[in-house]
Amino acid sequence: MAYKRNRDQDGEEDFVRVRVPKRNRSEIYAIADRLLGASHVNAICEDGKARLARIPGKMKRRMWIREGDLLIVKPWDFQDEKADVLWRYTHTQASYLQRSGKLPRDLQKF
């Protein structure tokens, strides 16, 4: 995976080793709370809302999502209580995000 430059709120650039949510596309962090079956998971998002997140087939075949995993989700435009799962972090990636200060305080449990 190529390293990408990320611009902080202060305007400083740094290299990020893992994928981060693209805020201009309304992607946010979430934690998988409960697995509901039928490719759905209950996700607690960084904005404090619990959303029903849908796992796409492409991701379902490639990796498993378990309770407590850190995710990137994209809330739906027309139904705010639902979302799509875009990315799942491994435990190592999630701990790197916490150490580097990229995670919001509400989600720092790794």
Question: If you compute the radius of gyration of the chain from its CA atoms, what whole number of angstroms results?
Answer: 14
Q: How many residues does the chain have?
A: 110
Delimit the domains of the chain by residue range.
Answer: 28-107
Interval 4-42: pLDDT, tens: 555 555 555 567 678 999 999 999 999 999 999 899 999
Instruction: Give bridge partners of residue 67 from the DSSP assignment.
Output: none
> What is the Cα–Cα distance from 21 to 81, expressed in whole angstroms?
19
Note the pTM of the prediction, 2 decimals. 0.82
Interval 35-65: pLDDT, tens: 998 999 999 999 999 999 999 988 888 888 9
Give the position of tokens 């701990």. Answer: 95
CATH number corresponding to 28-107 = 2.40.50.140
